[in-house]
Amino acid sequence: MKTPFMGSKQKVFIVEDDLTTRRLLKIRVNSLGYETETFDNGKDAWEAFAKKQPQIVISDWKMPGLDGLELCKYLRKSYIESYTYFILVTAQRRSRVNLEQAIDAGVDDFLKKPISSEEIWNRIRVAERILGFCSQVKELEQLIPICTYCKDVRNDKDTWEQIEHYINNRIGANFTHTVCPDCLEKYVRPELEEFKQAMKRKAEAIEA
């Protein structure tokens, strides 16, 4: 079975206090081509999150200490460049209140115990698709529309401004203007030569 992320070995955190379920999830997710790291509590997973930045987290809801819902809230409040897809594992019936709680916390999807191989595969496929969309949107956001002629760029207010101002407003960088070697030979030297010739002709005209 080929998945979009197999070649790059994307990381999945599995957070589950039950040893049997944790091992089952690890075996099934590894078989899909992912690299997994397991934790038996939310606290350890949270401490490792900033350093490892997994693409997917599969976490049990009810755990002692930091449970799955709290872990998801922590993740959503943190700032990382890429999106993490969060799958919540639950043994209880998903009531409307529980669903609202989970969605408000930032949960993306659910796995219900007992967990089947087919269900894990389905949830991972959905995660892959959403993460792929997120990656495409990020790439599009990084494209800056620039005018072919004047080189002004269009900002997020749909107005045009000089590229120096655009970059300065976002990262605070200032510009100093110089001339690259290619442009020196292509533009500056011919202009200087033309200026010298004009001055020479003017001097000759005065002498005459």
C-alpha–C-alpha distance, residues 125 and 109, integer Å:
11
Q: Which two tokens stand for residue 39?
A: 């934790």
Final residue before a domain boundary, out of 120, 141, 162: 141
Report which DSSP code applies to 12. Answer: E
Look at the chain and report how many structural domains it folds into. 2
Per the CB < 8 A criterion, the answer to whether 36 and 26 are in contact is yes
C-alpha–C-alpha distance, residues 178 and 181, integer Å:
10
CA 172 to chain centre: 22
pLDDT at site 5:
46
Identify whether residues 101 and 19 lie together within a single domain: yes
Per the CB < 8 A criterion, the answer to whether 110 and 90 are in contact is yes
Which structural domain, as residue segments, surrounds residue 129? 6-141
Residue pLDDT, tens place only, 80-133: 777 899 999 987 666 677 788 888 889 999 998 888 888 999 999 899 888 888
